[in-house]
Amino acid sequence: MKSKLVLVCILAALPLTGCKKLMTLFHRATAPEAAATQPAPASTPAPVHTVAAPVATPGPAINKAASIIVFCYHNIEDSTKMKALTIPVAEFTREMQAIKDAGLTVIPMQQFLAFRRGEKAIPAKSVVITIDDGWVSAHDTAWPILKKFNYPFTLFIYINYVGAGGKSMSWDQLAEMRDAGVDIECHTYSHSDLKAPGFNVDKHTAELVKKDVATLGMDGWLRKEIIGSKEELEKQLAIKVDAFAYPFGKYNAKARELVKEAGYDAAFTVYGQRIGFSQPSDLLGRYAIEAAKPQIFADALNVMSGPASAAPDVAQLAAASMITEPADGQTISDPKPVIKANLATMGDIDSVQMRVSGLGEVAAKYDPTTKTISYQPTEKLHEKNYSVVLSAKSKTGERLETRWSFNFDPNAPAEPADTPLPPRPK
């Protein structure tokens, strides 16, 4: 029936076609029936492509015995008026050359932080250079010198000083340095001593801090100084802030708690030390360099000339573990105080050394019977702040380190040496 229908259709098309075309139409019309009687050709299987499983890339080989020292600079200029925070240009240049001559490698802060996370290796003996506060000399003077040596460096900036005029940097200058690859990190809002609001700052800043404490409370003020300043720096420069520097190296338990809450990878003091892989990340010591204390730079290089094992295995805050004189954070008026500590909580000690900021290693006496170490300066104190570092070696070979700080004010009321009182604003 189907063939008849096809034939009828072809005949109907006859007036419109020739014979040859007619036969072609007929074959095409009947081809499906013919094809239906033929076996279907065997299908060719699609080629199978085997995808090799990805090979895990091994992480970098981390030498956990590697260590660094961190230098802390402030104002780099030839000034006859400012000695405490200033270093002459020629001396700064000489020290940069000395780092190179000592065979030390200057690395970026971010590489050091990655090393601490186990993500990147660093040379066995490395240096990180930091410049604090936001002095314009960091932009105009130090930066060109550091470029010549091809040294990376970090700026620790406190918010209230940016754009304050005088010798401070502007946000535009910071942005310029950011775009050139300079690392920028946080140094609080006001640069006040975190243990004593308004201490060690100018009168105007002290008033601002006092208002913040009255409005926010002590914890709220600390939150602004540590967390709020980080948020403001990130907002102004569109950066990620990873590190924090305690003003004057001062901190307390609440400050350390907020540093961790803020998510900082590291927080730095000014208690110079050789930093290894395992020191507490929120108490990393820097060597604060200034013209009046040239021995600090030399001491730092000497520390790096020894074996990596010179870094302590255990570092702790003395005030939390032992009795010290003066007490941690205490303000004293005695210009020749007895600096003393009971080391009973450190276990069996084989040897111990005492270092005092501005004096270096001192000839302290250790009594193994009472486990007490003491030292009395032969010259009068004159700085506002002092830090004491005790480096000990246990009988089992473990290296230990503990530290505390105190303030000196010749006009402060005398306090009993065994009565730890909180520091008072100046």
Least confident range of 213-217, 238-242, 320-324, 348-352:
320-324
360 conformational bin, left if phi > 0, alpha if psi -120 to 50, beta if neither: left
pLDDT tier at 59, thresholds 50, 70, 90: low
Residue 349 CA to residue 400 CA, distance in Å, equals 9
Domain spans of the chain, in order of start: 67-308, 312-426
Beta strands in 52-193, from DSSP E residues, in sequence order: 67-73, 75-76, 86-87, 105-106, 125-133, 154-157, 183-186
Q: What is the CATH number of domain 67-308?
A: 3.20.20.370
Q: What is the pLDDT of residues 326-344, one digit of tens each?
A: 987 788 999 999 999 988 7
Q: What is the pLDDT of residues 176-201, one digit of tens each?
A: 999 999 999 999 999 999 988 998 88
For CA atoms 146, 295, 188, 257, the dihedral sign is positive
Predicted local confidence at residue 45, as pLDDT: 55
pLDDT tier at 7, thresholds 50, 70, 90: very low
Report, as an integer, the average pLDDT of 412-418.
Answer: 53
DSSP letters along 168-197, please?
Answer: BPPHHHHHHHHHTT-EEEE--SS---TTST
Q: Exposed e or buried b for every residue in 76-113, given b needs 16+ CB within 10 A?
A: bbeeeeeeebbbeeebbbebbeebeeeebebbbbbbbb
Q: What is the pLDDT of residues 63-108, one digit of tens each?
A: 888 999 999 999 999 976 766 789 999 999 999 999 999 999 999 9
Residue found under tokens 């956990």: 64
Least confident range of 106-110, 119-123, 297-301, 401-405:
401-405
Residue 41 CA to residue 109 CA, distance in Å, equals 70
pTM: 0.67
Predicted local confidence at residue 18, as pLDDT: 46
Which DSSP category does 138 fall into? I
Report, as an integer, the average pLDDT of 125-135.
Answer: 97
Query: Under CATH, to which class is 312-426 assigned?
Result: mainly beta
Judge whether 189 and 224 are in contact, CB under 8 Å. Answer: yes
Predicted local confidence at residue 258, as pLDDT: 97
